[in-house]
Amino acid sequence: MPGQPATQLPELDPEELIAQVRAYNPKSNAKKIREAFYYGMKMHDGQFRQSGEPYFTHPVAVAHVLAEQRLDDASIVTALLHDTIEDTKSTYQDVEQHFGHDVAELVDGVTKLTNLQLSSTESKQAENFRKLFMAMSKDLRVILVKIADRLHNMRTIRHMRSEKQAQKSRETMDIYAPLAGRMGMQWMREELEDLAFHVLNPDARASIIRRFIRLQRESGDVINKITTDIRKELDKAGIEADVFGRAKKPFSIWRKMQEKDQPFSRLSDIYGFRIVTHSEMDCYRVLGVIHQRWRAVPGRFKDYISQPKSNGYRSIHTSVSGRDGKRVEVQIRTRQMHEVAEAGVAAHWSYRDGVRAENPFAVDPVDWLAALTERFGSSEDDDFLEHVKLEMYSDQVFCFTPKGEVVKLPRGATPLDFAYSIHTRIGDSCVGAKVDAVRVPLWTRIKNGQSVEIITAEGQSPQATWLDIVATGRAKSAIRRRLREEDRERFIRLGRELARVAFEHVGRKATDKALKTAAKQLSLPDADEMLARLGSAELAARDIVAALYPEARESGVIEASRAVVGLDHGESFQLAQCCQPVPGERIVGISYRGKGVVVHAIDCHALEEVAEESSRWVDVQWHSGKHKAEHTVSLDLTIANDSGVLGRICTLIGEQKANISNLQFMDRKPDYYRLIVDVDLRDVEHLHNVMLMLEADSDVAEIRRHRDLARAP
């Protein structure tokens, strides 16, 4: 049995941790925790962190984080040992011998997660995400330890090198924070996001904190005032409840500013209040009291008690105009619901008074994992990462079938997502939808409580444009699969034509032998598969040519008159002036009498007028390859009215190899003026580079892409 290490570290004492665990679990195995503590200390003896502290302070801190969530002994012991197999001479067999098979499996699982490079290239990242979910499926406590490990690393990140700080923070923001949120540990998600935000955008975070301080100085203690107001109203109604208030985290506020495109001064719901009651009935009584006293904000009510989230979260959310007209968010829940809201899926392992907590709202981890991963099974590797991120970031809306059955969808879902959530066959044959009995376009975003009816027709099949409409991984996967199946022959024919043109550009012929050799170079099974991918825009013609003739990669520039493919032989096209699509953007063709096909960007509002006329829609795409800088885009610029500014702006555009074809002044002010600049560009990347360069100039107050519906055909 492991004993105490030869080198004692007096500041590390197992009794403090044991006392913390015994406070919620008096029957915990103190001896086992003490043995793990001294074993880990011995194994890490002589190792130090970047801060100069003994390395073992980190596993101890992770154990304390898990103890705060009242987790079981195995999780606490695993936290103390989680780096021993990876960073010390200890082995799996040593851990198993001293602490049992379950702990050894957990420690081994955490070690494997630590070695996954989740922020690597996308293909590798998708593969590693699969491994992460496999580890989670064996025992969810593995990821609980790993998230606690990441939390402490982020709390002490200032001691790392700056580039390492940035890499860890991006990984935290992209993966660990949303995963913690998806598991229901909202407090942990918020802290992880804010710690990462501190590294990735310190100026923005500091600015928000300064504004908070100034707001408090001007308005006084708003939280205390509103909390007192709520308590008075509850006392009048004879309802016993605890009321807590807090200002939202800087990152949460910054995200709202970005989503709503509003400055800090225009944000109203920067304060949140939580009311914890004794019973579910009291939750609804509290809701009535709140709405009677303050005016409810339309569209901001969510009842997660009657429709819980998949991770077990239950609560009522509402926003009201409180004291002095300030908008505040109020969450109402019972004590048991609150415990699940704090611990999420981890509530399954929580202890109270020495026994596993019997919380009726704690979700079974097996059921939660099944719900999270059921839609990934049929996904191909290139779709998997996209699906996982969609699922982790999703918030839910609840809508209804015409028969009143509830359907859960992520925020931003459309009727097409609804159709595919019912059955793949319903989605594939969808031709229209009604929301609350009103016919709507398929790209309409569904809101909470709406009733959705799907209109189907025999012979209908998915359109490629649907991929830009749907929001769920399940729908995207089903559409891609059906498109591959039904359109394979068409894609092969189109791919063969694209290959022929691409080879001719470099003075070669796309013979069967050449195509077969190119497919082999690209590690594809045969030429037909390569051509099908080329025709479906999954593969670029330039990559096929470059597989055989690398020196030809940069040769051949595509004229604007040949920029679009997918039209019938001899059919003419023109680019829509309302949305001004450029190569690299998703496009769709609309046939107009006397005008041929007009090519629009997929998000052009002019498409709403022809949403019901599917016969006029033409599936087109940009010719793969390098395009000439002949695609005009109008930029709306607000710049300082100062000498030399306009000349410098024109110079910046010219330095990006972009030509200014027109310039129109829209509004003149003493200090600023607004103008529309028409710029000729190659593609969407060229556009991005020009806008980025202009946005970085200190005299450019605002820049955006100008789109004019009045110029629609």
Chain segment 57-93, per-residue pLDDT in tens: 999 999 999 888 888 888 999 999 988 888 888 888 9
523 lies in the same domain as 562: no
pLDDT (0 to 100) of residue 563 = 84
User: In this model, does residue 122 exceed pLDDT 60?
Assistant: no
Pairing relationship of beta strands 700-705 and 631-640 according to DSSP bridges: antiparallel
Residue 363 lies inside a defined structural domain of this protein? no
pLDDT (0 to 100) of residue 33 = 92
**What b/e string do you get for 339-374 counting C-beta neighbours within 10 Å, with b at 16 or more?**
bbbbbbbbbbbbbeeeeebebebbbebeebbeebbe
pLDDT (0 to 100) of residue 627 = 84
pLDDT (0 to 100) of residue 484 = 72
pLDDT (0 to 100) of residue 24 = 82
Per cent of the chain over pLDDT 70 is 82
User: In this model, does residue 337 exceed pLDDT 70?
Assistant: yes
555, 585, 612 - which closes a domain: 555
Distances (CA, A) of 648 to 465, 645, 660, 698: 40, 5, 13, 11
501 lies in the same domain as 478: no
Query: Which domain, by its residues, includes 474?
Result: 396-483
| Tokens at 86, concatenated | 């990876």
SS3 assignment, position 637: strand
Between residues 184 and 585, the one the model is more confident about: 585
The enclosing domain of 412 has a CATH number of: 3.10.20.30
Between residues 279 and 114, the one the model is more confident about: 279
Residue 362 lies inside a defined structural domain of this protein? no
pLDDT (0 to 100) of residue 377 = 47
User: In this model, does residue 385 exceed pLDDT 60?
Assistant: no
Between residues 256 and 630, the one the model is more confident about: 630
87 is catalytic: yes
Query: How does the average pLDDT of the chain come out, rounded?
Result: 80
349 lies in the same domain as 212: yes
Which position among 68, 86, 585, 630 bears the catalytic label?
86
User: In this model, does residue 262 exceed pLDDT 70?
Assistant: no
688 lies in the same domain as 571: yes
325, 341, 356 - which closes a domain: 356
- Cα three-residue angle 590-533-422, rounded to 5 degrees: 70
55 lies in the same domain as 145: yes
pLDDT (0 to 100) of residue 8 = 39
DSSP string, 655-688: HTT-EEEEEEEEEE-SSEEEEEEEEEESSHHHHH
The enclosing domain of 592 has a CATH number of: 3.30.70.260
Residues sharing a CB contact under 8 Å with residue 696, sequence separation 6 or more, in sequence order:
none
pLDDT category, 325, cuts 50, 70, 90?
Answer: low
Residues sharing a CB contact under 8 Å with residue 388, sequence separation 6 or more, in sequence order:
129, 133, 376, 473
SS3 assignment, position 705: strand
Residue 579 lies inside a defined structural domain of this protein? yes
86 is catalytic: yes
User: In this model, does residue 556 exceed pLDDT 80?
Assistant: no
Residue 367 lies inside a defined structural domain of this protein? no
For tokens 């109020």, name the residue. 330
| Tokens at 9, concatenated | 């570290």
pLDDT category, 582, cuts 50, 70, 90?
Answer: very high
pLDDT (0 to 100) of residue 234 = 92
pLDDT (0 to 100) of residue 62 = 92
156, 185, 200 - which closes a domain: 200
User: In this model, does residue 573 exceed pLDDT 80?
Assistant: yes
127 lies in the same domain as 271: no
pLDDT (0 to 100) of residue 1 = 38
Distances (CA, A) of 445 to 27, 38, 469, 470, 696: 51, 56, 9, 10, 34
Whole-angstrom distance, CA of residue 277 vs CA of residue 287:
11
pLDDT (0 to 100) of residue 2 = 40
601 lies in the same domain as 612: yes
3-state helix, strand, coil in the chain (%, to 5): 50, 15, 30
pLDDT (0 to 100) of residue 3 = 41
pLDDT category, 264, cuts 50, 70, 90?
Answer: low
User: In this model, does residue 374 exceed pLDDT 80?
Assistant: no
Cα within 13 Å of Cα(235), Cβ side = 7
pTM of the model: 0.54
Q: Which residues, listed in sequence order, are joined to residue 328 by a DSSP beta bridge?
A: 271, 320
Distances (CA, A) of 43 to 17, 18, 81, 334, 557: 19, 20, 9, 44, 62
Whole-angstrom distance, CA of residue 555 vs CA of residue 409:
47
Q: Which of 10, 11, 30, 8 is nearest to 19 (CA)?
A: 30
Residue 3 lies inside a defined structural domain of this protein? no
Q: Which of 38, 18, 16, 37 is nearest to 28 (CA)?
A: 18
577 lies in the same domain as 664: yes
Q: 200-230: per-residue pLDDT in tens?
A: 888 888 888 888 777 777 666 778 888 899 9
Which position among 87, 102, 383, 453 bears the catalytic label?
87
SS3 assignment, position 316: strand
pLDDT category, 268, cuts 50, 70, 90?
Answer: low
pLDDT (0 to 100) of residue 454 = 92
Between residues 613 and 77, the one the model is more confident about: 77
213 lies in the same domain as 337: yes
pLDDT (0 to 100) of residue 7 = 38
Question: Highest mean pLDDT: which of 85-89, 125-129, 648-652?
Answer: 85-89
Q: 502-522: per-residue pLDDT in tens?
A: 787 667 788 888 899 888 888
The enclosing domain of 193 has a CATH number of: 1.10.3210.10
| Tokens at 132, concatenated | 């992460």
Between residues 158 and 538, the one the model is more confident about: 158
Total domains in the fold of the chain:
5
106 lies in the same domain as 240: no
Between residues 556 and 223, the one the model is more confident about: 223
Q: Among 427-441, 544-558, 692-706, which stretch is predicted with the lowest mean pLDDT?
A: 544-558
| Tokens at 117, concatenated | 């490079």
| Tokens at 131, concatenated | 């491994």
Q: Which of 425, 401, 414, 540 is nearest to 472 (CA)?
A: 414
Q: 342-363: per-residue pLDDT in tens?
A: 776 666 556 555 555 555 555 5
196 lies in the same domain as 207: no
pLDDT (0 to 100) of residue 120 = 47
pLDDT category, 381, cuts 50, 70, 90?
Answer: very low
Q: What is the CA radius of gyration of the chain?
A: 30
Asked whether 145 and 75 are in contact (CB, 8 A), the reply is yes
Residue 184 lies inside a defined structural domain of this protein? yes
541 lies in the same domain as 620: no
Residue 569 lies inside a defined structural domain of this protein? yes
The enclosing domain of 212 has a CATH number of: 3.30.460.10
